[in-house]
Amino acid sequence: MKILFFYPLPYEADIRKVLQKMRKKHAVFVPFMEGESFKMVTFRLPLKKKKFGIFEAGDTIKKNNKIDIAIVPAVGVDGNMQRIGFGKGMYDRFFAKLQKKPYTIFVQPEFCHTNKVLCDSYDITCDVLITPTKIMYRRG
């Protein structure tokens, strides 16, 4: 199974233990910033601190655009289960390039959801939202 994770910033959900455990059994990837989006690279140490204080694995020439699961940080989630992120649109641009949508899991350090529809049509949608206090599934 191919899983896209993120390496958390201090204000994001700390998923490092899950990431370490999953990499023992699955192909684990993390974002590598490229212009206004990113590409997936294999998660391997050491990580280097880059733009926006994000830790990244080293670059690769391999093209990896097929994933089964994506674990994505979210600031909030709207009534359509769409991601309210950090305002750069990097995940939206990355997902738009994928041929097949992966099963998508949003994670938040605190539950932040509204029933109102706030996002645009191009904002990514999750299948499940996970927080320390609540789990929500998208209908349909």
What CATH number is associated with residue 55?
Answer: 3.40.50.10420
Count up the domains in the chain and report the number.
1
Nearest to 112 by CA among 138, 87, 78: 78
Percent of the chain exceeding pLDDT 90 equals 49
What value does the mean pLDDT take over residues 2-21? 91
- Angstrom CA distances, 24 to 7, 20, 27, 45, stand at 16, 7, 8, 14
Range of the domain at 73: 2-137
Which tens digits make up the pLDDT trace of 25-72? 999 998 877 777 787 888 877 777 776 677 767 666 666 678 999 999
Calculate mean pLDDT across residues 111-140.
91
Q: Say how far residue 24 (Cα) sits from the centre of its chain.
A: 19
State the Cα–Cα distance between residues 64 and 41, nearest whole angstrom: 7
Mean pLDDT along residues 108-131: 92
Q: What is the mean pLDDT of residues 66-84?
A: 93
Q: What is the pLDDT of residue 42?
A: 83
User: Above 70 in pLDDT, residue 119?
Assistant: yes
Percent of the chain with pLDDT over 70: 91
pLDDT at 61: 61
Q: Is the pLDDT of residue 121 over 90?
A: no
Beta strands in 1-140 (DSSP E): 2-4, 27-34, 37-42, 48-49, 55-56, 69-73, 76-77, 83-84, 103-107, 128-130, 135-137
- Per-residue pLDDT, averaged over 75-84, amounts to 92
| pLDDT at site 105 | 97
